[in-house]
């Protein structure tokens, strides 16, 4: 077996989303040059958003490292966000090993041993003093656990509406992503049915979108099924169970827009303790976990709900981490 000599690093950040990049910028201010290891591309989660999506937040709430985010309108588009984070990475020379997956993090004396695999199957070994986990959640959709969910007609992501023209599409979920997708699909001539287990519209729907959606439902251009769930997905139909019993309707595609969750198993393997509700234990003031030298940044630090941490809040985690490192490990 070939001996792999560890690559020495001061700090390794796992995940090149906005919060991981923000943490890297904060560590740069301490004179460090952290390495980010990312299993996909830079800000992968944003690249998975719908092609023509516009953020709910204003650009200044998405800024990292104090670098201005200039946009053409009041709210940034997906394309503008990709350009911003990409440009910040290049201009600030943030070190990112993209398409490289961390498979193991384990204590090695006073340091950590980090093992990864590149997209070419090459195994790499690192030794570092600090590990910051900023892995996000987009690789872990909330599954339904129903027959047919694994078939090709089902997707947990919605990118754009064009491929669905003149098809029958069922959307599972009632959040903003489900409502936005339904409206886009209706515009291109898809026959849309939204299946939602709630009794009424989700309270967090954008207030300027809800009246438009309700109008489409009232005109029967979009079919809305409250207090309902899909229980089986077949090649040309789906089975819906609702207040009036079970019904099979014709169907071509299913968009299961049921949200995502962080990878808690990865944290557990490192030794991070979990609360009774399954969320990780960490110090809110420093973002350090019960494993000294292991920190959390971004949505992975969420507790009950993944959507309680956004870019707007998670981008500040790096500053807390940097302050703690400056006061302790870098003295």
CATH number at residue 250: 3.50.50.60
- Asked, for residue 145, whether it belongs to a domain, the answer is no
DSSP 6: P
- Asked, for residue 2, whether it belongs to a domain, the answer is no
Q: 82 and 196 in one domain?
A: no
152 alpha-carbon distance from chain centroid: 22
For 27, other C-beta atoms within 10 Å of its C-beta total: 24
Which among 57, 55, 10, 52 has a CA at the least distance from the CA of 35? 10
Helix (H) or strand (E) holding 24, with range, is helix 18-28
Q: 109 and 21 in one domain?
A: yes
> Which structure tokens are listed for 310?
């956004």
pLDDT of amino acid 329: 72
Q: 269 and 252 in one domain?
A: no
pLDDT of amino acid 317: 97
Q: 112 and 12 in one domain?
A: yes
Residue with tokens 């195994």: 123
Under a CB-based contact definition with an 8 Å cutoff, are residues 313 and 150 in contact? Answer: no
Beta bridge partners of 146: none
What length does the chain have? 331
Under a CB-based contact definition with an 8 Å cutoff, are residues 62 and 72 in contact? Answer: no
Q: 177 and 136 in one domain?
A: no
Q: What domain range includes position 233?
A: 154-256
Question: Cβ contacts of residue 221 below 8 Å, gap of 6+?
Answer: 186
Q: 317 and 179 in one domain?
A: no
- Asked, for residue 147, whether it belongs to a domain, the answer is no
pLDDT of amino acid 1: 45
pLDDT of amino acid 143: 92
pLDDT of amino acid 140: 82
Residue with tokens 């026959």: 191
pLDDT of amino acid 138: 73
pLDDT of amino acid 5: 75
Which among 195, 205, 270 has a CA at the least distance from the CA of 233? 195
Give the C-alpha separation, 207 to 99, whole Å: 38
Q: 135 and 13 in one domain?
A: yes
pLDDT of amino acid 209: 93
- Asked, for residue 42, whether it belongs to a domain, the answer is yes
Q: 119 and 182 in one domain?
A: no
pLDDT of amino acid 308: 47
Q: 188 and 107 in one domain?
A: no
Q: What's the domain count of the chain?
A: 2
Please say which residue of 241, 256, 271 terminates a domain. Answer: 256
Q: Which residues of the chain have pLDDT under 50?
A: 1, 308
> Which structure tokens are listed for 289?
């976990």
Please say which residue of 256, 283, 304 terminates a domain. Answer: 256
For 170, other C-beta atoms within 10 Å of its C-beta total: 26
Give the C-alpha separation, 39 to 99, whole Å: 4
pLDDT of amino acid 256: 97
For the full predicted model, state whether its pTM sits above 0.85: yes
């Amino acid at each position: 077996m070939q001996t792999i000599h560890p690559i020495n690093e001061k700090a390794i950040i796992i995940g090149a989303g906005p919060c991981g990049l923000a943490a890297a910028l904060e560590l740069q201010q301490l004179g460090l040059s952290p390495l980010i290891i990312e299993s996909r591309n830079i800000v992968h989660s944003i690249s998975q958003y719908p092609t023509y999506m516009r953020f709910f937040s204003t650009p200044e709430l998405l800024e990292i490292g104090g670098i201005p985010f200039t946009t053409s309108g009041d709210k940034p588009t997906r394309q503008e966000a990709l350009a911003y984070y990409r440009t910040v990475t290049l201009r600030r020379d943030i070190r990112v090993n993209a398409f490289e997956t961390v498979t193991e993090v384990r204590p090695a004396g006073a340091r950590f041993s980090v093992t990864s695999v590149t997209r070419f199957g090459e195994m790499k070994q690192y030794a570092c003093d600090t590990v910051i986990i900023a892995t996000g959640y987009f690789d872990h959709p909330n599954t339904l656990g129903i027959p047919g969910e694994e078939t090709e007609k089902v997707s947990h992501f919605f990118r754009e509406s064009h491929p669905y023209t003149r098809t029958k599409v069922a959307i599972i979920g009632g959040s903003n992503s489900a409502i936005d997708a339904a409206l886009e699909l209706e515009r291109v001539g898809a026959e849309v049915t939204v299946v939602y287990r709630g009794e009424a519209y989700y309270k967090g729907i954008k207030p300027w979108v809800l009246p438009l959606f309700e109008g489409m439902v009232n005109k029967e251009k979009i079919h809305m099924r409250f207090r309902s769930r899909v229980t089986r997905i077949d090649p040309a139909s789906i089975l819906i169970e609702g207040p009036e019993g079970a019904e099979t309707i014709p169907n071509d595609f299913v968009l299961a827009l049921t949200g995502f969750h962080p990878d808690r198993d990865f944290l557990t393997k490192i030794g991070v303790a979990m609360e009774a509700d399954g969320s990780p234990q960490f110090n809110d003031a420093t973002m350090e976990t019960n494993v000294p030298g292991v920190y959390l940044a971004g949505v992975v630090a969420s507790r009950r709900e993944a959507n309680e941490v956004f870019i707007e809040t998670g981008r500040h985690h790096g500053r807390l981490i940097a302050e703690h490192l400056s006061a302790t490990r870098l003295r």
